Amino acid sequence: MVNISIRNLHKRFGSLHVLNDINLEIEAGELFFLLGSSGCGKTTLLRHIAGFYEPNKGQIFFGDEDVTRKPAHQRNTAMMFQSYALWPHMDVAHNVAFGLEERKVDKKEIEQRVAEALEIVKMREYAERKINQLSGGQQQRVALARALVVRPQCLLLDEPLSNLDAKLRLEMRSEIRRVCKEFGLTGVYVTHDQEEALSMADRMAIMGTGEMLQVGTPEEVYRNPVSVEVASFIGETNVVSGTVDTEGSSPGIWRVETESGLFRARVSDPDWKPTKGQPVDLSIRPEALKISDSATATNSIKATVKKSVYLGQIAQYIVETPGGDRVQLSELNPQSMRKAGDKSVYLGCEPEDVVLLRKAKRGSS
């Protein structure tokens, strides 16, 4: 395992600035996720770590070693691709052995290491099968074994589960995390799948267009987004516009006036303090809202049900507030459903569940 330091990294493709002053520390043995929408630069950053690209400016360190200009085959990394990149004319064992053969490893050692790698991913009995005789999940395990057999200090994964069905994705999530932790690998994993990242990552970075928006554990990023862009990308959220009134009696809790009423909210960004009269946004997760027939003690807003969906263990509602905000909420284990057009209801949520954010720029998500 190895820690990875990325310092002031810039990358241009012609006039397009793809990475803009990226700074990031990935700890040894950590499973670290890079997330963001298409075109944000996450795969480009991964390819810099792998050694497929050289930056226009900046440095990449593996431990104390500067690998910025070091070619990919000398970095002792292994990469798993979205397409698996397996050889269809070879059997499983020869696919796994390919990287060792290229390194001129002794034949007996190759046999031993291939057997060990296939055992790790529970594919040893399939060693003589051809690739086209395997399911998608089995092919993914072969790709993982091929990456592990070279005994890398860092495993790089570029959306490796996107071609699998939902059941296999769940299975392979736990398998990849198990292997990384069991063998002490530093893993860097690119995905746009929020659920995948939340369930697997030790830490994650949310990327905007060529820049880091926020770095933290899944819980930190979900509970304490520092921008509307992050809050909207990780999970679902309601964004309500308002104006700062005053700081409340509780430390860190602010009163915010909105078109739908008064909210009490907390600031998640420790480097920012709102000022009275400042335009802001509030982020409220659907599961944080409670629906009832009467007003609650805090953050109580009158609303009208516009749409309801019953999903068994959960009910989902779209409601409209007097200020015209359309708000989504989720009710766990619903005892009965509220229908569109029913009498007015009340929404309520705790101040700790309302995150006060700087006003998003026009056009931000």
Residue 102, domain CATH: 3.40.50.300
User: pLDDT tens-digit profile of 26-49?
Assistant: 999 999 999 998 889 999 999 999
| 364 located within any domain | no
My answer on whether 205 and 249 are in the same domain is: no
Number of domains within the chain? 2
My answer on whether 233 and 208 are in the same domain is: no
| 11 located within any domain | yes
d(CA 291, CA 344): 10
The CATH number for 343's domain is 2.40.50.140
My answer on whether 221 and 324 are in the same domain is: no
User: pLDDT tens-digit profile of 95-114?
Assistant: 999 888 888 889 899 999 99
- Whether 6 shows a pLDDT value over 60: the answer reads yes
My answer on whether 172 and 291 are in the same domain is: no
- Whether 64 shows a pLDDT value over 90: the answer reads yes
| 309 located within any domain | yes
* Single residue among 228, 243, 274 that ends a domain in this structure: 228
Side chain identity at residue 15, one-letter code: S
My answer on whether 337 and 220 are in the same domain is: no
Give the residue-averaged pLDDT of 222-227: 95
Domain that holds residue 349: 229-358
Q: What percent of the chain has pLDDT over 90?
A: 56
My answer on whether 178 and 312 are in the same domain is: no
Give the residue-averaged pLDDT of 168-176: 83
Give the model's pLDDT for residue 364.
47
Give the model's pLDDT for residue 52.
93
- Whether 163 shows a pLDDT value over 90: the answer reads no
- Whether 365 shows a pLDDT value over 50: the answer reads no
| 363 located within any domain | no
Nearest 10 degrees: Cα torsion 135, 139, 142, 146: 170
Which candidate, 192, 223, 214, 216, places its Cα nearest to that of 287? 223
| 142 located within any domain | yes
* Single residue among 212, 228, 244 that ends a domain in this structure: 228
d(CA 226, CA 355): 9
Give the model's pLDDT for residue 147.
86
pTM of the model: 0.87
Residue pair 19/79 in contact by the 8 Å Cβ criterion: no
Give the residue-averaged pLDDT of 71-76: 88
How does DSSP classify residue 180? H
User: pLDDT tens-digit profile of 238-293?
Assistant: 999 999 998 877 888 999 999 988 999 999 988 888 999 999 999 999 999 999 88
d(CA 61, CA 176): 24
User: pLDDT tens-digit profile of 178-196?
Assistant: 888 888 899 999 998 899 9
My answer on whether 318 and 217 are in the same domain is: no
My answer on whether 102 and 70 are in the same domain is: yes
More confident site: 363 or 6? 6
Which candidate, 132, 149, 202, 144, places its Cα nearest to that of 171? 144
Confidence of residue 356 (pLDDT cuts 50, 70, 90): very high
| Strand partners for 243 | 257, 279
My answer on whether 15 and 31 are in the same domain is: yes
Which candidate, 180, 222, 227, places its Cα nearest to that of 200? 180
| 163 located within any domain | yes
| 275 located within any domain | yes
* Tokens read off for 14: 């012609």
* Single residue among 213, 228, 243 that ends a domain in this structure: 228
| 92 located within any domain | yes
What 3-state class would DSSP assign to 245? strand
My answer on whether 192 and 341 are in the same domain is: no
- Whether 201 shows a pLDDT value over 60: the answer reads yes
My answer on whether 64 and 207 are in the same domain is: yes
User: pLDDT tens-digit profile of 297-350?
Assistant: 789 999 999 999 999 889 999 999 888 889 999 999 888 888 887 778 999 999
Confidence of residue 362 (pLDDT cuts 50, 70, 90): low
Give the model's pLDDT for residue 247.
81
My answer on whether 13 and 122 are in the same domain is: yes
* Buried-exposed string 191-204: b where 16+ CB fall within 10 A, e elsewhere: bbbbebbbebbbbb
CA 216 to chain centre: 10
Give the model's pLDDT for residue 110.
92
d(CA 236, CA 225): 12
